Amino acid sequence: MSKVEEIASNLSIKIGNRLEKSEEDINILKYGMFVIIHTIFTAIITIFVGIIIGRLKEVLIITICCGLLKRYSGGVHASSPNRCTIIGLMMVILLTFIGDIIIQKSDKFIFLMIIMILITLEYFIIYKRCPIGCKEKPLKNENKRKKLRKKSFKLMNIYILVIILLYVFYFLKNIYFIKSIIMSVVLGIFMQTFALSVIGKMFVEKIDNILDISKL
């Protein structure tokens, strides 16, 4: 049991006993407490990492864009929430620095070409793979799958519209800050679509195994 799970368990038992709840209610409360505490913990760690590497804005945008799309499209999971956080942060840091290189080395035309190629690839992966269930949420219900798929495409269309509007503004004003936001949104989408791909699944499982050997 991780420290977060231990804290959630202790709090839910104390609250459940005080409110005279059944064991089933306590278990439901335990899960809810775990989700809340783990989300807060992950948010704090993410902000801390962003500040440490001097890329808070980029880290937050990539994380949020990836997380929103993951909610509807699913994808591979690590063997524990803590490992999901570790692997996620590793990927965010890597993508942040890759994005920084692209931003610095590309002019407006090359940057547009890179963005268009990435968006096309991302859209293709979502079309072919979305949604993907996991052991905890197998997504066998066809109606639910269709709803999640529809929401994934709707969110992707919103992302693309935002990217287009931001690029027009960047093209006219040539502001580095806007270019950075565009790159971060695209990389946030890429991070999630990578997790939907076969290669992404193999990558996460490989890192998960390494973390298992390291006892993390």
Residue 92 and residue 147: Cα distance in Å, rounded? 28
Instruction: For residue range 93-150, list pLDDT tens digits in order.
Output: 999 999 999 999 999 999 999 999 999 999 999 999 898 876 666 677 788 889 999 9
Q: Which of 133, 45, 31 is nearest to 85 (CA)?
A: 45
Q: Which of 210, 207, 66 is nearest to 126 (CA)?
A: 66
Q: Report the residue count for the chain.
A: 216
Instruction: For residue range 168-208, list pLDDT tens digits in order.
Output: 999 999 999 999 999 999 999 999 999 999 999 899 989 98
Residue 203 and residue 144: Cα distance in Å, rounded? 27
Which CB contacts under 8 angstroms, 24+ apart, belong to 207-210?
A: 207/78, 207/87, 207/90, 208/78, 208/79, 208/83, 208/87
Identify the three-state secondary structure at position 54: coil
pTM of the model: 0.88
Q: Which of 72, 74, 8 is nearest to 40 (CA)?
A: 8
Residue 211 and residue 143: Cα distance in Å, rounded? 36
